[in-house]
Amino acid sequence: MNQFPKSAYVHIPFCHRRCFYCDFAVVPLGNNIETLRGYGSTTVKEYLYFLYKEILSIKHKSSLSTIYLGGGTPSILDPKYIKEIIDLFKKNYGVDYGAEITMEVDPASFNQNDLYGFINAGINRFSLGAQSFNNKVLEKAGRRHLEEDVEKACSWLKKFQESGLIKSWSLDLIQNLPLCGFKEWQRDLSKTINFSPPHISIYDLNIENGTVFKKLADLGKLSLPDDEESYKNSELTNLLLKRSGYSRYEISNYSLAGHQSRHNRVYWSGLGWWSFGQGSTSAPWGRKFTRPRKSKDYKDWVINQCEDSLDPTLIKRDFLYQELDEKIMLGMRLKEGVNIYKLFQEQNWNKKESENNLEKLLTEWKVFLENGLLIQRGERFYLSDPKGMDFSNQILISMFKWWDKIT
Protein backbone atom coordinates (compact mmCIF):
# COMPACT_ATOMS: atom_id res chain seq x y z
CA MET A 1 0.00 0.00 0.00
CA ASN A 2 1.46 3.35 -1.02
CA GLN A 3 -1.61 5.48 -0.47
CA PHE A 4 -1.27 8.98 0.95
CA PRO A 5 -2.75 9.49 4.42
CA LYS A 6 -6.34 10.78 4.30
CA SER A 7 -6.65 11.72 7.98
CA ALA A 8 -5.03 14.29 10.25
CA TYR A 9 -5.07 14.71 14.02
CA VAL A 10 -4.24 18.12 15.54
CA HIS A 11 -3.33 18.37 19.22
CA ILE A 12 -4.38 21.50 21.11
CA PRO A 13 -2.68 21.04 24.52
CA PHE A 14 -4.32 23.85 26.48
CA CYS A 15 -6.62 23.18 29.43
CA HIS A 16 -7.95 25.26 32.28
CA ARG A 17 -6.50 22.62 34.63
CA ARG A 18 -5.38 19.00 34.55
CA CYS A 19 -8.02 16.44 35.54
CA PHE A 20 -7.02 13.97 38.25
CA TYR A 21 -6.95 10.97 35.85
CA CYS A 22 -5.22 12.71 32.91
CA ASP A 23 -1.72 11.86 31.69
CA PHE A 24 -2.02 13.55 28.27
CA ALA A 25 0.42 16.17 26.98
CA VAL A 26 -1.47 19.23 28.24
CA VAL A 27 -0.63 22.79 29.29
CA PRO A 28 -2.90 24.04 32.12
CA LEU A 29 -3.49 27.80 31.82
CA GLY A 30 -5.97 28.46 34.64
CA ASN A 31 -9.59 29.56 34.62
CA ASN A 32 -9.16 33.10 33.27
CA ILE A 33 -7.60 32.36 29.89
CA GLU A 34 -8.56 34.65 26.97
CA THR A 35 -6.94 33.27 23.86
CA LEU A 36 -7.21 36.27 21.52
CA ARG A 37 -5.74 38.80 23.95
CA GLY A 38 -5.13 38.97 27.65
CA TYR A 39 -4.06 36.17 29.97
CA GLY A 40 -2.70 33.12 28.18
CA SER A 41 -2.96 34.58 24.70
CA THR A 42 0.82 34.89 24.18
CA THR A 43 1.32 31.22 25.12
CA VAL A 44 -1.44 30.15 22.74
CA LYS A 45 -0.21 32.27 19.83
CA GLU A 46 3.36 31.03 20.24
CA TYR A 47 2.23 27.40 20.22
CA LEU A 48 0.04 27.92 17.15
CA TYR A 49 2.97 29.52 15.32
CA PHE A 50 4.99 26.32 15.72
CA LEU A 51 1.97 24.09 15.05
CA TYR A 52 1.37 25.85 11.73
CA LYS A 53 5.06 25.51 10.82
CA GLU A 54 4.85 21.77 11.45
CA ILE A 55 1.69 21.38 9.36
CA LEU A 56 3.35 23.22 6.46
CA SER A 57 6.62 21.27 6.77
CA ILE A 58 5.18 18.10 5.20
CA LYS A 59 6.44 17.67 1.63
CA HIS A 60 4.01 15.01 0.32
CA LYS A 61 0.61 16.54 1.02
CA SER A 62 -2.70 15.18 -0.23
CA SER A 63 -6.38 15.84 0.38
CA LEU A 64 -7.94 14.76 3.68
CA SER A 65 -11.22 12.98 4.37
CA THR A 66 -11.10 13.35 8.19
CA ILE A 67 -9.63 15.98 10.50
CA TYR A 68 -9.77 15.66 14.29
CA LEU A 69 -8.93 18.49 16.70
CA GLY A 70 -8.24 16.98 20.13
CA GLY A 71 -6.51 17.90 23.32
CA GLY A 72 -6.38 19.24 25.87
CA THR A 73 -9.39 21.44 25.36
CA PRO A 74 -9.61 22.78 21.78
CA SER A 75 -12.78 24.69 22.68
CA ILE A 76 -10.61 27.03 24.78
CA LEU A 77 -9.47 28.54 21.48
CA ASP A 78 -11.35 31.38 19.85
CA PRO A 79 -13.23 30.24 16.69
CA LYS A 80 -10.83 32.47 14.71
CA TYR A 81 -7.98 30.06 15.43
CA ILE A 82 -10.06 26.99 14.61
CA LYS A 83 -10.81 28.55 11.23
CA GLU A 84 -7.10 29.26 10.67
CA ILE A 85 -6.23 25.60 11.28
CA ILE A 86 -8.92 24.24 8.95
CA ASP A 87 -8.13 26.82 6.27
CA LEU A 88 -4.46 25.84 6.48
CA PHE A 89 -5.40 22.26 5.58
CA LYS A 90 -7.81 23.38 2.86
CA LYS A 91 -5.18 25.57 1.20
CA ASN A 92 -2.15 23.28 1.57
CA TYR A 93 -3.54 19.73 1.62
CA GLY A 94 -7.08 19.95 0.32
CA VAL A 95 -10.17 18.73 2.17
CA ASP A 96 -12.52 16.29 0.44
CA TYR A 97 -16.17 17.11 -0.10
CA GLY A 98 -18.13 15.55 2.77
CA ALA A 99 -15.06 15.26 4.99
CA GLU A 100 -15.65 14.55 8.69
CA ILE A 101 -14.14 17.41 10.71
CA THR A 102 -14.37 16.76 14.45
CA MET A 103 -13.52 18.97 17.41
CA GLU A 104 -13.39 18.01 21.08
CA VAL A 105 -15.28 20.38 23.36
CA ASP A 106 -15.53 20.46 27.16
CA PRO A 107 -18.63 21.74 28.98
CA ALA A 108 -18.11 25.19 30.52
CA SER A 109 -15.35 26.03 28.03
CA PHE A 110 -17.70 27.37 25.35
CA ASN A 111 -21.12 28.97 24.85
CA GLN A 112 -23.73 28.76 22.10
CA ASN A 113 -22.14 31.62 20.15
CA ASP A 114 -18.79 29.83 20.25
CA LEU A 115 -20.46 26.76 18.73
CA TYR A 116 -21.79 28.87 15.87
CA GLY A 117 -18.25 30.20 15.40
CA PHE A 118 -16.73 26.69 15.35
CA ILE A 119 -19.36 25.55 12.83
CA ASN A 120 -18.70 28.57 10.60
CA ALA A 121 -14.99 27.71 10.83
CA GLY A 122 -15.73 24.30 9.27
CA ILE A 123 -16.42 21.92 12.18
CA ASN A 124 -19.26 19.48 11.36
CA ARG A 125 -18.90 17.00 14.25
CA PHE A 126 -18.31 17.60 17.97
CA SER A 127 -17.08 15.28 20.71
CA LEU A 128 -18.31 16.44 24.13
CA GLY A 129 -16.13 15.41 27.09
CA ALA A 130 -18.86 15.13 29.71
CA GLN A 131 -17.39 12.17 31.70
CA SER A 132 -20.37 12.31 34.11
CA PHE A 133 -23.57 14.20 34.90
CA ASN A 134 -22.98 13.90 38.66
CA ASN A 135 -21.51 16.98 40.39
CA LYS A 136 -19.87 14.99 43.19
CA VAL A 137 -18.28 12.57 40.73
CA LEU A 138 -17.09 15.46 38.54
CA GLU A 139 -15.54 17.27 41.51
CA LYS A 140 -13.80 14.10 42.72
CA ALA A 141 -12.32 13.63 39.21
CA GLY A 142 -10.98 17.19 39.11
CA ARG A 143 -13.39 18.34 36.42
CA ARG A 144 -14.20 22.04 36.15
CA HIS A 145 -17.75 21.83 34.81
CA LEU A 146 -21.07 20.99 36.49
CA GLU A 147 -24.08 18.88 35.53
CA GLU A 148 -25.96 21.93 34.27
CA ASP A 149 -23.07 22.76 31.91
CA VAL A 150 -23.25 19.25 30.42
CA GLU A 151 -27.02 19.50 29.97
CA LYS A 152 -26.78 22.89 28.24
CA ALA A 153 -24.04 21.65 25.92
CA CYS A 154 -26.04 18.51 25.04
CA SER A 155 -29.14 20.61 24.32
CA TRP A 156 -27.22 22.89 21.97
CA LEU A 157 -25.55 20.03 20.10
CA LYS A 158 -28.81 18.10 19.80
CA LYS A 159 -30.56 21.18 18.42
CA PHE A 160 -27.77 21.92 15.94
CA GLN A 161 -27.71 18.36 14.65
CA GLU A 162 -31.48 18.19 14.26
CA SER A 163 -31.45 21.47 12.34
CA GLY A 164 -28.69 20.21 10.02
CA LEU A 165 -25.98 22.63 11.17
CA ILE A 166 -23.74 19.70 12.09
CA LYS A 167 -23.60 16.13 10.81
CA SER A 168 -23.12 14.40 14.14
CA TRP A 169 -21.89 14.65 17.71
CA SER A 170 -20.54 12.33 20.38
CA LEU A 171 -20.74 12.26 24.17
CA ASP A 172 -17.88 10.83 26.28
CA LEU A 173 -18.36 9.17 29.68
CA ILE A 174 -15.85 7.49 32.00
CA GLN A 175 -17.01 4.30 33.68
CA ASN A 176 -16.08 3.44 37.31
CA LEU A 177 -14.95 6.85 38.51
CA PRO A 178 -14.73 7.39 42.29
CA LEU A 179 -18.19 7.83 43.89
CA CYS A 180 -19.84 6.43 40.74
CA GLY A 181 -21.61 3.29 41.94
CA PHE A 182 -24.38 1.39 40.18
CA LYS A 183 -27.15 3.93 40.88
CA GLU A 184 -25.01 6.89 39.87
CA TRP A 185 -23.92 5.16 36.67
CA GLN A 186 -27.51 4.21 35.84
CA ARG A 187 -28.48 7.88 36.17
CA ASP A 188 -25.55 8.96 33.94
CA LEU A 189 -26.63 6.51 31.23
CA SER A 190 -30.30 7.50 31.47
CA LYS A 191 -29.49 11.19 31.13
CA THR A 192 -27.19 10.45 28.20
CA ILE A 193 -29.86 8.46 26.38
CA ASN A 194 -32.41 11.24 26.96
CA PHE A 195 -30.27 13.58 24.84
CA SER A 196 -29.92 10.95 22.05
CA PRO A 197 -26.30 11.65 21.04
CA PRO A 198 -25.68 9.84 17.72
CA HIS A 199 -22.38 8.54 19.10
CA ILE A 200 -21.32 7.59 22.64
CA SER A 201 -17.81 6.76 23.87
CA ILE A 202 -17.53 5.00 27.23
CA TYR A 203 -14.04 4.56 28.60
CA ASP A 204 -12.98 2.48 31.59
CA LEU A 205 -11.00 4.45 34.14
CA ASN A 206 -7.27 3.67 33.95
CA ILE A 207 -4.94 4.78 36.73
CA GLU A 208 -1.91 6.24 34.95
CA ASN A 209 1.52 7.07 36.36
CA GLY A 210 2.06 10.72 37.25
CA THR A 211 -1.63 11.49 37.82
CA VAL A 212 -3.34 12.65 41.00
CA PHE A 213 -5.34 9.42 41.01
CA LYS A 214 -2.12 7.38 40.92
CA LYS A 215 -0.73 9.27 43.93
CA LEU A 216 -3.99 8.79 45.84
CA ALA A 217 -4.09 5.11 44.92
CA ASP A 218 -0.51 4.62 46.17
CA LEU A 219 -1.52 6.22 49.47
CA GLY A 220 -4.59 4.00 49.72
CA LYS A 221 -6.89 7.02 49.48
CA LEU A 222 -8.62 6.29 46.16
CA SER A 223 -11.92 4.46 46.54
CA LEU A 224 -13.18 2.89 43.30
CA PRO A 225 -16.05 0.51 42.47
CA ASP A 226 -14.97 -3.09 43.12
CA ASP A 227 -14.75 -5.72 40.35
CA GLU A 228 -18.31 -6.95 40.89
CA GLU A 229 -19.77 -3.44 40.77
CA SER A 230 -17.63 -2.58 37.73
CA TYR A 231 -18.97 -5.61 35.90
CA LYS A 232 -22.57 -4.70 36.80
CA ASN A 233 -21.94 -1.19 35.46
CA SER A 234 -20.65 -2.64 32.21
CA GLU A 235 -23.62 -5.01 31.88
CA LEU A 236 -25.98 -2.10 32.46
CA THR A 237 -24.19 -0.03 29.81
CA ASN A 238 -24.71 -2.69 27.15
CA LEU A 239 -28.31 -3.39 28.15
CA LEU A 240 -29.51 0.21 28.18
CA LEU A 241 -27.66 1.35 25.06
CA LYS A 242 -28.74 -1.65 22.98
CA ARG A 243 -32.35 -1.13 24.04
CA SER A 244 -32.00 2.46 22.88
CA GLY A 245 -30.82 1.51 19.38
CA TYR A 246 -27.05 1.85 19.81
CA SER A 247 -24.62 -0.62 18.24
CA ARG A 248 -21.32 -1.37 19.97
CA TYR A 249 -19.06 -1.19 16.95
CA GLU A 250 -15.81 -1.02 18.97
CA ILE A 251 -14.91 -1.92 22.56
CA SER A 252 -15.40 1.64 23.87
CA ASN A 253 -17.69 3.08 21.20
CA TYR A 254 -21.43 2.93 20.46
CA SER A 255 -23.33 4.62 17.67
CA LEU A 256 -26.67 4.95 15.98
CA ALA A 257 -26.75 3.80 12.35
CA GLY A 258 -24.52 5.93 10.13
CA HIS A 259 -22.71 7.72 12.96
CA GLN A 260 -19.53 5.69 13.56
CA SER A 261 -16.40 7.82 13.92
CA ARG A 262 -14.74 7.71 10.52
CA HIS A 263 -11.55 9.23 11.93
CA ASN A 264 -11.09 6.72 14.74
CA ARG A 265 -11.71 3.79 12.41
CA VAL A 266 -8.54 4.84 10.56
CA TYR A 267 -6.51 3.99 13.68
CA TRP A 268 -8.26 0.66 14.29
CA SER A 269 -8.00 -0.36 10.64
CA GLY A 270 -4.22 0.10 10.53
CA LEU A 271 -4.29 2.86 7.90
CA GLY A 272 -1.85 5.78 7.82
CA TRP A 273 -2.54 9.19 9.38
CA TRP A 274 -0.89 12.55 9.93
CA SER A 275 -0.60 14.03 13.41
CA PHE A 276 0.49 17.50 14.48
CA GLY A 277 1.23 19.12 17.83
CA GLN A 278 3.18 18.33 20.97
CA GLY A 279 2.88 14.80 22.29
CA SER A 280 0.88 13.56 19.30
CA THR A 281 1.66 10.35 17.41
CA SER A 282 1.60 10.01 13.62
CA ALA A 283 2.02 7.02 11.31
CA PRO A 284 1.58 8.34 7.74
CA TRP A 285 3.48 5.48 6.11
CA GLY A 286 2.85 2.90 8.83
CA ARG A 287 5.76 3.73 11.11
CA LYS A 288 4.80 5.54 14.33
CA PHE A 289 6.47 8.67 15.62
CA THR A 290 5.60 10.57 18.80
CA ARG A 291 6.48 14.23 19.16
CA PRO A 292 8.02 15.65 22.36
CA ARG A 293 5.50 16.09 25.20
CA LYS A 294 6.99 19.28 26.66
CA SER A 295 6.38 22.65 25.00
CA LYS A 296 10.01 23.78 24.69
CA ASP A 297 11.13 20.39 23.37
CA TYR A 298 8.30 20.39 20.83
CA LYS A 299 9.20 23.86 19.56
CA ASP A 300 12.88 22.90 19.23
CA TRP A 301 11.83 19.78 17.30
CA VAL A 302 9.73 21.83 14.86
CA ILE A 303 12.67 24.16 14.21
CA ASN A 304 14.87 21.16 13.45
CA GLN A 305 12.17 19.75 11.17
CA CYS A 306 12.07 22.91 9.11
CA GLU A 307 15.77 23.82 9.11
CA ASP A 308 17.42 20.40 8.95
CA SER A 309 15.29 17.56 7.67
CA LEU A 310 11.98 15.84 8.27
CA ASP A 311 11.82 12.88 10.57
CA PRO A 312 12.19 9.73 8.39
CA THR A 313 8.69 8.54 9.37
CA LEU A 314 7.20 11.64 7.69
CA ILE A 315 8.82 11.11 4.29
CA LYS A 316 6.90 9.25 1.59
CA ARG A 317 7.91 5.59 1.34
CA ASP A 318 6.42 2.16 0.82
CA PHE A 319 3.84 1.57 3.53
CA LEU A 320 5.27 -0.38 6.47
CA TYR A 321 2.57 -2.72 7.73
CA GLN A 322 2.11 -3.17 11.44
CA GLU A 323 3.42 -6.25 13.19
CA LEU A 324 0.87 -9.05 13.10
CA ASP A 325 0.19 -8.86 16.84
CA GLU A 326 -0.74 -5.18 16.56
CA LYS A 327 -2.98 -5.86 13.54
CA ILE A 328 -4.84 -8.52 15.52
CA MET A 329 -5.04 -6.32 18.63
CA LEU A 330 -6.54 -3.36 16.73
CA GLY A 331 -8.84 -5.49 14.59
CA MET A 332 -10.21 -7.38 17.58
CA ARG A 333 -11.38 -4.11 19.11
CA LEU A 334 -13.92 -3.81 16.30
CA LYS A 335 -17.28 -5.54 16.22
CA GLU A 336 -16.40 -7.36 12.98
CA GLY A 337 -13.14 -8.72 14.40
CA VAL A 338 -10.40 -10.01 12.08
CA ASN A 339 -9.91 -12.53 9.30
CA ILE A 340 -6.98 -14.43 10.77
CA TYR A 341 -6.28 -16.36 7.55
CA LYS A 342 -6.02 -13.14 5.53
CA LEU A 343 -3.62 -11.65 8.08
CA PHE A 344 -1.49 -14.78 7.93
CA GLN A 345 -1.34 -14.47 4.13
CA GLU A 346 -0.10 -10.88 4.52
CA GLN A 347 2.76 -12.30 6.59
CA ASN A 348 3.78 -14.32 3.49
CA TRP A 349 3.51 -17.53 5.49
CA ASN A 350 3.09 -20.70 3.45
CA LYS A 351 0.23 -23.11 4.10
CA LYS A 352 2.17 -25.25 6.55
CA GLU A 353 3.41 -22.24 8.55
CA SER A 354 -0.11 -20.81 8.70
CA GLU A 355 -1.60 -24.09 9.87
CA ASN A 356 1.06 -24.60 12.55
CA ASN A 357 0.79 -21.04 13.87
CA LEU A 358 -3.01 -21.13 13.84
CA GLU A 359 -2.98 -24.36 15.82
CA LYS A 360 -0.78 -22.69 18.45
CA LEU A 361 -3.03 -19.62 18.56
CA LEU A 362 -6.16 -21.75 18.94
CA THR A 363 -4.49 -23.52 21.86
CA GLU A 364 -4.10 -20.15 23.58
CA TRP A 365 -7.67 -19.19 22.69
CA LYS A 366 -9.27 -22.57 23.45
CA VAL A 367 -10.81 -21.61 26.80
CA PHE A 368 -12.19 -18.32 25.39
CA LEU A 369 -13.79 -20.09 22.43
CA GLU A 370 -15.33 -22.66 24.77
CA ASN A 371 -16.82 -20.13 27.19
CA GLY A 372 -18.17 -17.87 24.44
CA LEU A 373 -15.93 -14.85 25.02
CA LEU A 374 -14.45 -15.39 21.56
CA ILE A 375 -16.43 -16.47 18.49
CA GLN A 376 -15.23 -18.04 15.24
CA ARG A 377 -17.27 -17.79 12.04
CA GLY A 378 -15.35 -19.39 9.18
CA GLU A 379 -12.05 -17.53 8.88
CA ARG A 380 -13.15 -14.61 11.05
CA PHE A 381 -12.67 -14.28 14.82
CA TYR A 382 -14.45 -11.66 16.90
CA LEU A 383 -15.25 -10.84 20.52
CA SER A 384 -18.72 -11.62 21.83
CA ASP A 385 -20.77 -8.66 22.99
CA PRO A 386 -20.82 -7.81 25.84
CA LYS A 387 -18.73 -10.42 27.69
CA GLY A 388 -15.93 -10.86 25.16
CA MET A 389 -15.48 -7.13 24.73
CA ASP A 390 -15.56 -6.58 28.50
CA PHE A 391 -12.85 -9.21 29.04
CA SER A 392 -10.86 -8.41 25.90
CA ASN A 393 -7.62 -7.83 27.79
CA GLN A 394 -7.39 -11.49 28.79
CA ILE A 395 -7.90 -12.61 25.19
CA LEU A 396 -5.37 -10.13 23.80
CA ILE A 397 -2.76 -11.00 26.45
CA SER A 398 -3.01 -14.66 25.41
CA MET A 399 -2.53 -13.58 21.78
CA PHE A 400 0.62 -11.62 22.70
CA LYS A 401 1.97 -14.70 24.47
CA TRP A 402 1.41 -16.68 21.27
CA TRP A 403 3.20 -14.04 19.22
CA ASP A 404 6.18 -14.01 21.59
CA LYS A 405 6.46 -17.79 21.37
CA ILE A 406 6.42 -18.01 17.58
CA THR A 407 8.78 -15.04 17.05
CATH of domain 7-268: 3.20.20.70
Cα 340 to Cα 105, 264, 324, 343, 346: the distances in Å are 38, 22, 10, 5, 10
Q: What is the pLDDT of residue 366?
A: 96
Cα 173 to Cα 40, 128, 286, 290, 336: the distances in Å are 29, 9, 30, 26, 24
Over residues 265-303, the pLDDT tens digits come to 999 988 899 999 999 999 999 899 999 999 999 999 999
Question: Which has the higher per-residue pLDDT, 76 or 33?
Answer: 76
Q: What per-residue string of b and e applies to 151-164 under the rule 16 or more CB within 10 Å gives b?
A: bbbbebbbebbeee
Tell me the mean pLDDT in the region 160-166. Answer: 97
In whole angstroms, give the CA distance from residue 93 to residue 4: 11
Sign of CA dihedral 291, 297, 298, 300: negative
Domain boundaries, the chain: 7-268, 324-406
Does the 324-406 domain belong in CATH 1.10.10?
yes
Over residues 46-72, the pLDDT tens digits come to 999 999 999 999 998 999 999 999 999
Q: What is the pLDDT of residue 399?
A: 96
Q: What value does the mean pLDDT of the chain take?
A: 94
Q: What is the pLDDT of residue 319?
A: 78
Under the banding of pLDDT at 50, 70 and 90, the label for residue 317 is confident
Whole-prediction pTM: 0.95
In whole angstroms, give the CA distance from residue 282 to residue 6: 12
Q: What is the pLDDT of residue 347?
A: 86
SS3 276: strand
Of 104-108, 155-159, 227-231, the one with minimum mean pLDDT is 227-231
Predicted confidence (pLDDT) at residue 36 exceeds the cutoff of 90: no
Predicted confidence (pLDDT) at residue 184 exceeds the cutoff of 60: yes
Over residues 336-353, the pLDDT tens digits come to 999 999 999 888 899 999
Pairing of strands 289-290, 64-71: unpaired
SS3 208: coil
Over residues 217-234, the pLDDT tens digits come to 999 999 998 888 988 999
Q: What is the pLDDT of residue 1?
A: 47
Q: Do domains 7-268 and 324-406 have the same CATH topology?
A: no
Under the banding of pLDDT at 50, 70 and 90, the label for residue 183 is very high
Burial of 320 (0-12, 13-18, 19+ CB in 10 A): middle
